[in-house]
Homo-oligomer: A and B are copies of this chain.
Amino acid sequence: MKIQELADKMGLTAHTIRFYEKEGLLDGRHIQREKNNYRNYSDEAIERLKLIKKFQGIGCSLAELKTILQDHDTNTRTNQEVMEWIGQKIDEIERKKAEYDHMLVTLHWMLEYRKALIDDPDKAEAMMAQFRALSAE
């Protein structure tokens, strides 16, 4: 399978696949060279790219993926270690979600304040007074 064919199959560009290779995410099991120096991809390359996409989908950087794939290839990690790693990832994402929740609290406050400005100036003033009191703490 040539690079464009693989790219189409996986919804990537040929550039990106070469980039992954340069980053060390693919190796001899996935790529051979033909006599014209064109890359020839095995079916394992498809599985590899699926794995890459899956881990990208759970928020892994390419640097992290490189380590994960190496460990995967060499069977370095115990089940226990993998479970700890997953736990850490979950915590990390929960933290980011909490940040967004905090943003949403602020935004909903802003929206309510703007509504009050139109409908109920007394309420708007009260909200602002309370906000200032909290900020001053």
Measuring CB to CB, which residues of chain A are less than 8 angstroms from any residue of chain B?
A: 54, 57-59, 79, 82-83, 86-87, 89-90, 93-94, 96-97, 100-104, 106-108, 110-111, 114-115, 117-118
Q: Is the contact region of chain A dominated by helix, strand, or loop, or is it mixed?
A: helix
Q: Which residue in B57, B87, B94, B103 is a CB contact (below 8 Å) of A58? A: B103
Are B94 and A104 in contact (CB-based, < 8 A)?
A: yes
Number of copies of this kind of chain in the complex: 2
Known contacts A96-B100, A104-B90, A111-B86: does B59 contact A118 (CB below 8 Å)? no
Are B57 and A117 in contact (CB-based, < 8 A)?
A: no
Are A111 and B83 in contact (CB-based, < 8 A)?
A: yes
Are B57 and A86 in contact (CB-based, < 8 A)?
A: no
Question: Residues of B contacting A96 with CB < 8 Å?
Answer: 100
